[in-house]
A and B are shown apart, each in its own frame.
Chain A
Amino acid sequence: VSALGVGIVYNRALPRFLAECPDAVDYLAVTPETFWSDARTGDAPSRFRENAAAVAAFESLAVRLPVVAHGIALSIGTAAGIDMGHMGHLAQVGRWHERYGFDWYGEHLSYTRVESPDGAERHAGLALPVPYDADVLDTLDERVRLVGQVVAAPFLLENGTTYTTLPDEDMSEPAFLNALCARAGCHVLLDLHNLHANVVNGFVDADAYLGELDLDRVLEIHVAGGSMLAGMYTDAHSGPCPPEVWDLLDAVLPECPSVRGVAFEFVSGYYPALGADGVRAQLDRARTAWERHR
């Protein structure tokens, strides 16, 4: 995988932004499942209703920029299993990979889909962390291998934000990621804002976390901004990166020999507040770090 540079996670404000600042990014990180509605039953394409206007807007940019996938709905940690098979979610991501040629496919080390004893599924409402236990590691090892069979691109798993912790886990998050990457051959999407949120909320120490994580496995880094909610700092993607995130980026980039890109994330609803200049400033700051250390 060749280095891509500075990217941005695609949202519906991006066509406007990139019309104003066409040279601001080197790649797009797209969340495929935001372009379709999934009926959860039936055969493709009837199961997956693709929003044609949204796809067209994305394609107008994808024709000139490399694309990576940043999924949110695989739910690799769902104990009941991932949505496999020809008609499943993963197969639909695979079809998008065939269409757009993702340089890599990133997902979250978490679960969003849960099942009741009767098999009925529902969304958990937010991404919840998997227990970092040995038996879960065994399960995810198998799952990562399955993902590789369907989406033929390097597979990355992202460290998450958590607002609660499980007691008595077998290992830490970095130890779990290290073991999973070593066994299953996947990589790390290191989200420095998620790490920052966990530091602010008192769950981890950044130096200890980064000292334990195998940084050789980091293929992409994400940066973002957040905000306070009910007394905790959340990963809201609600504005510019806090200075601590840039400090983390400057510190960790030279230690990540395999890193291929740094992407900025924001939610489109915050674009009016950020403005094109505000987004551009974040990307320029990321580029300064990228060019200094790469």
Chain B
Amino acid sequence: MSLVAFQDALAALVASPDDTRRVRAGDAAPLDRYDLTSRERERLVAVARQPGMAVNCVLYRAHRMVPLMSLFGRTCAWLGEGLRAEVDAFWATTTHTMIQFEVEAKAFGRHLLGRVAARDLIDPVVADLVAVELAMVDLRFLTAGERRAAPGGRNPLVRVLRLRHDVESLLRAEPVAAAGYAVVDARGGGEPVAYRPDPAVAAAWAAFEAGGPGTGDVELLRDAGLLA
């Protein structure tokens, strides 16, 4: 089992530049929690002292950032200098990730929404941006079964969100406070797109959500692609 501990310890050093610096400086305490042979311990100390360990640490962070930047790019850009603290807080709760794009991105989105709900993150724009990008992630990773529509039901390739900002201004990073619906649409086959629905469609959707759409409303929603 010793090699298990060695790999665990090396991966922990890669994920923790602080521990790597301690070991490099001669304080091997971060290795004490592992059941290592003397050869393995000497190897880890030697590795921590090599300049390439800095590259390993940077690559670890970069590889964990890629799913977030790829799938929550607008949210990350909006957070600006606050992104680092949010990412660190997220990673502190997800030390055992397998770094899969869908899983990692959805977990980050839920983490941010949780921070907003707890009022640890007080920025109403973030909640709307996360909602839009979370819907896009959801649509990007649909399975074949999830893409099949139930007749008369909601279109599985479309999400309708209620936001506090106009979605089109949000996507331009110039948010305008205006409560209303946003449509996130993957019917085109490429990347999902988000847009403000036509006012008549928005009114029909409000009636649909309230449970009382008329026949004309259903036809309108079907034509707009919101219903299958």
Contact = CB atoms under 8 A, between A and B. Distances in A.
A212 interface: no
Contacts of A125: 11, 14-15, 59-61, 63-64, 99
A161 B179 CA distance: 51
Chain A CB within 10 Å — which of B6, B61, B96 has the most? B96
Contact of B52 (A39, A116, A164): A164
Interface string A158-190: 000011111110000000000000000000000
Given A125-B14, A229-B58, A230-B58, A114 B53 contact: no
A86 B35 CA distance: 32
Given A49-B102, A114-B11, A126 B60 contact: yes
In the A-B complex, the 8 residue pairs with the closest CB atoms: A163-B52, A125-B60, A79-B3, A124-B11, A52-B144, A163-B55, A37-B102, A122-B96
Contacts of A165: 47, 50, 52
Nearest to A81: B4
Contacts of B97: 122-123
A50 B144 CA distance: 8
B189 interface: yes
Interface string A124-165: 111010010001100000000000000000000000001111
Interface size bracket, A side: 35 or more
Contact of B56 (A37, A114, A123, A163): A163
B142 A52 contact: yes
A142 B10 CA distance: 24
Interface of B: 1, 3-8, 10-11, 14-15, 35, 39, 42-43, 46-47, 50-56, 58-61, 63-64, 95-103, 140-144, 146-147, 186, 189
Chain B CB within 10 Å — which of A40, A168, A230 has the most? A230
A165 B46 CA distance: 9
Interface of A: 37-40, 49-53, 55, 78-80, 111, 113-117, 120-126, 128, 131, 135-136, 162-168, 201, 229-232, 234
Given A126-B63, A166-B43, 16 more contacts: A39-B103, A40-B98, A51-B140, A52-B147, A78-B7, A111-B7, A115-B4, A117-B35, A121-B98, A125-B15, A128-B56, A164-B47, A167-B46, A231-B51, A232-B51, A234-B59
Contacts of B56: 126, 128, 163-164
B189 A53 contact: yes
Contacts of B8: 114-117
A49 B141 contact: yes
A163 B35 CA distance: 25
A221 B15 CA distance: 31
18 contacts: A52-B143, A53-B140, A78-B7, A79-B1, A79-B4, A114-B8, A117-B4, A123-B97, A126-B14, A131-B6, A135-B3, A166-B47, A167-B43, A168-B39, A229-B55, A231-B51, A232-B51, A232-B52
A37 B5 CA distance: 27
A143 to B, nearest CB: 13
Contact of A122 (B43, B46, B95): B95
Q: Please classify the interface of chain B as helix (H, G, I), strand (E, B), loop, or mixed, using the class held by over half of its residues.
A: helix
Contact of B98 (A78, A113, A126, A229): A113
Contacts of A114: 4, 7-8, 11
A165 B43 CA distance: 9
B46 A166 contact: yes
A167 B49 CA distance: 12
Contacts of A231: 51, 54-55
B147 A126 contact: no
A51 B192 CA distance: 14
A97 to B, nearest CB: 19
Nearest to A40: B98
Given A122-B97, A166-B43, A230 B54 contact: yes
Contact of A168 (B14, B15, B43): B43
A79 B54 contact: no
Contacts of B42: 167-168
A136 B6 CA distance: 13
Given A79-B7, A121-B96, A37 B147 contact: no
Contacts of A123: 97-99
Contacts of A164: 47, 50, 52-53, 56
A264 B4 CA distance: 34
A108 to B, nearest CB: 14
A51 B59 contact: no
B55 A51 contact: no
Contacts of B35: 117
B52 A162 contact: yes
Contacts of A40: 98
Contacts of B54: 230-231
